[in-house]
Amino acid sequence: MKTVNKEVKISGQGIHSGLPVNLVIKPSDKPGIFFRRVDMAGTDLIAAVYDNVGETKMRNTTVGMTDGAHVQTVEHLMAALFMAGVDSAIVEIDGVETPILDGSAAQFYDAIVAAVDADKSKMKRIVVKREVTAHAAEILKQLPWFVRIQLWIMNKIAGRKSNGFVKLSPNDGKSLDIKATLIYPEKIIGNQSYEYSFDGTKKSVDVFRKDVARARTFGKYSEWEYLKKRGMGRGANESNVIALNDAGDGTLNELIWADEFVRHKIIDAIGDMFTSGGMVCGNLESYKGSHAMNNLVLKKLFSNPDNYDII
């Protein structure tokens, strides 16, 4: 178990609310990552675990009760905590969502890693023993009809098909090997794949910081207009989201890498897998994956003790 050795303060703006938000990561002696909504008096700690993930709001991961205290867009912060080796902390936050910062995990990671002792303490390992898969179609079926219609419209606008899946399968049990694939009708994204392996060594952390951490979230400009009308994406701008032009053949801001889009999916996958409470050891294949599928695959993994070992 590892916590931060001092408070880590991070401020910014929520991507959906557009409101300023402050968070403080505090040392803790309790295993697990917990959020506390300091703007909501008397609410309980919110555990950042897969079975406490609420409505995934199409584009982010939310922990807590949908109609009570909850925190949205935890995935980039969770990825940064995981990569810094922090599996015990209380995150106090004065708003409903974490600050988007530059849309990546780099600023979170740098702030957290500066407050972590370089010891060899290891995280709990969840070793995948049997293959489990979450399909996009299963997610659609679970949604209320009005959300299904919203999604259908958004997919129609974006020209997307929902045949994606997220699969966990056994490997040698010592690393989290992620392969992400994106297939978009927009030429600027097209068909992109990226692989990243985390085995707990400093080398694999350095690769994350260099090749993955800075990859930003993305969206289509016309899709933002749709989201903004529905009270989402209000804080999205060119400093924190890669904006695809309407023709789909370019971006309004400059890309760090041509495949920055799929590299960002690696961050999302790492953050979501950390809601397992430890390091998932196995192959994670994300084919047109989503936060909802990442969550469902963990629920399936933990639904049967024969599917995994905890070390």
Applying CB under 5 A, which part among 42-50, 92-100, 144-152, 263-271 lies near Zn ion?
263-271
Q: Exposure of 226 by Cβ count < 10 A (0-12 exposed, 13-18 middle, 19+ buried)?
A: middle
Q: CB-wise, 217 or 295, nearer to Zn ion?
A: 217
Applying CB under 5 A, which part among 89-97, 160-168, 209-217, 228-236 lies near Zn ion?
209-217
Q: If binding is defined by CB under 5 A, does position 268 make contact with Zn ion? A: yes
Distance CA(77)–CA(295), nearest Å, equals 16
Q: Which residue is nearest to Zn ion (CB)?
A: 268
Applying CB under 5 A, which part among 81-89, 108-116, 217-225, 237-245 lies near Zn ion?
217-225
CB of 311 to Zn ion, least distance (A): 29
**What letters, b where the CB count within 10 A reaches 16 and e where it falls short, cover 45-83?**
bbbbbbebbbbbbebbbbbbeeeebbbbbbbbbbbbbbb
Catalytically active residues are 291
CB of 247 to Zn ion, least distance (A): 24
Calculate the CA 106 to chain-centre distance.
13
Distance CA(190)–CA(186), nearest Å, equals 6
Alpha-carbon distances, residue 142 vs 49, 54, 71, 136, 306 (angstroms): 20, 12, 21, 10, 25
Calculate the CA 83 to chain-centre distance.
13
How many residues touch Zn ion under the rule CB under 5 A: the total is: 2
Q: If binding is defined by CB under 5 A, does position 260 make contact with Zn ion? A: no
Applying CB under 5 A, which part among 61-69, 225-233, 234-242, 260-268 lies near Zn ion?
260-268
Q: Which of 98, 217, 276, 283 binds Zn ion (CB under 5 A)?
A: 217
Q: Smallest Cα–Cα separation from 46: which of 23, 25, 63, 62?
A: 63
Distance CA(24)–CA(37), nearest Å, equals 11
Q: At 61, is the secondary structure helix, strand, or coil? A: coil
- Which residues ranging from 94 to 133 are in contact with Zn ion (CB under 5 A)? none
CB of 310 to Zn ion, least distance (A): 27
CB of 169 to Zn ion, least distance (A): 23
Q: If binding is defined by CB under 5 A, does position 272 make contact with Zn ion? A: no
Calculate the CA 286 to chain-centre distance.
13
The residues of the shown chain that bind Zn ion, judged by CB under 5 A, are: 217, 268
